[in-house]
Amino acid sequence: MHKAMEVNEKIMHESANMLEKHGYSESYFHALSQALDNIKDIETIEAMRNKYQIEIGKDGVSTVARLKEDNDGYNIHDPETEDIVYKLAEHLKKYKAFKEEYERTKGDMDLEKSHRELDKTMKCMQQIVTMIHGCVDSDEEKTMIKTHIRDMFNMYQ
């Protein structure tokens, strides 16, 4: 499945780039549409295999949450946390793909897409840190979090 996903993502990016460069073409539009459908189907199959639960809210927005088991065999289901982690992984994957495409083409659109995905990735990370902050109740835990955040900040000094 991983290889099929890679091929379809490549076709999607190439078709989108060709449409962007040359305008509407039925063949490029059809390839883009088919690749998007295939990606959606692959993600659905992977979700089913990995025991993901897809929930559709009253507003029509779907969230994907993975069911996990703790050591006692009980299902631990935290849709909010799992949704953010899933989104983080997806945005990071897209960021890396757009960045790779930009490095290959030097196209402004690919650079812009990579920046948007990086921003979404960082917002997900911020949400995770905020959720952790809400659980912290001891000085030892606060110190641990401060140390890790300081280390991350120092990477860019």
Q: Taking the domains of the chain in order of start, what are their residue ranges?
A: 3-56+78-155
- The CA–CA distances, whole Å, from 32 to 11, 49, 95 equal 7, 26, 19
* Residues forming beta bridges with residue 55, ordered by sequence position: 63
Mean pLDDT of the residues in the chain: 82
pLDDT band of 81, cuts 50, 70, 90 = confident
pLDDT at 40 > cutoff 80: yes
Structure tokens at 102: 């930009």
What would the pLDDT profile of 84-104 be if each residue is shown by its tens digit?
A: 888 899 999 999 999 999 999
pLDDT of residue 58: 60
- The arithmetic mean of pLDDT across residues 121-138, rounded, is 91
pLDDT of residue 4: 80
pLDDT at 76 > cutoff 60: no
Q: Are 62 and 68 in contact (CB under 8 A)?
A: no
- The CA–CA distances, whole Å, from 75 to 57, 66, 81, 84, 151 equal 21, 10, 14, 19, 34
pLDDT band of 48, cuts 50, 70, 90 = low
